[in-house]
A = this chain, B = another copy of it.
Amino acid sequence: MRKPSRMPIGLRLANTAKTVGRAFDDTLAAAGGSSPVWLVLLTLKTQAMASQREIAAAVGIQGATLTHHLNGMERDGLITRTRDPENRRVHQVRLTGQGEEMFHRLATAAQAHDERLREGFTEDELETLEKLLTRLQANVTAPREGA
């Protein structure tokens, strides 16, 4: 006879994500950034030639929401937006020097956060955790019969 999990796994996940996410937000804020700004910068550096549609998809937000963040980032001198001469509908988003600096500052902060997070975990445990999280996400992403 085994004692079942006493708490819904979704609630456990939400609690953990809330606590960890707030700690991360604090870390980013101390470095002068925020979570969406960091995700946008990371996407720009990782997927160099991304259109705004692609960036929004990568960050997991709507296009209009991305525009909102890009407006702020442009105002703060982190990015520039210019039209693509090949297809003038597309706006090319590029990092400025300040944007590069911000990226590196936030990358450092993010790395410190992640090292703190990993403390006491073995590589195997991290891999296990990552796989379990992926499966959890898949369960919710998979199309349902009813939908």
List residues of chain A with CB under 8 Å of any chain B CB.
2, 4-5, 7-10, 12-21, 23-24, 35, 60, 110-111, 113-114, 116-121, 123, 125-130, 132-137, 139-141, 144
Contacts A5-B130, A8-B110, A12-B129 aside, 20 further interface pairs with beta carbons under 8 A come to: A5-B127, A9-B130, A10-B113, A10-B117, A12-B130, A13-B16, A13-B133, A14-B17, A14-B20, A14-B21, A16-B133, A16-B136, A18-B60, A19-B60, A19-B137, A116-B140, A117-B136, A120-B135, A120-B139, A128-B128
A141 to B119, CA, bound (A): 12
Q: Which residues of B contact A127 (CB under 8 A)?
A: 5
- Closest beta carbon of chain B to A60's beta carbon, Å: 6
Query: What is the oligomeric copy number?
Result: 2
Q: Which of A9, A110, A111, A137 has the most CB of B within 10 A?
A: A9
Q: Which residues of B contact A121 (CB under 8 A)?
A: 9, 132, 135
Instruction: Flag if B126 contacts A9 (CB, 8 Å).
Output: yes
Q: Which residues of B contact A113 (CB under 8 A)?
A: 10
Chief secondary structure at chain A's binding surface: helix
Q: Which residues of B contact A133 (CB under 8 A)?
A: 12-13, 16, 129
Q: Which residues of B contact A20 (CB under 8 A)?
A: 10, 13-14, 136-137, 140
Cβ-defined partner of A7 (8 Å) among B4, B130, B139: B130
Q: Which of A7, A10, A21 has the most CB of B within 10 A?
A: A10
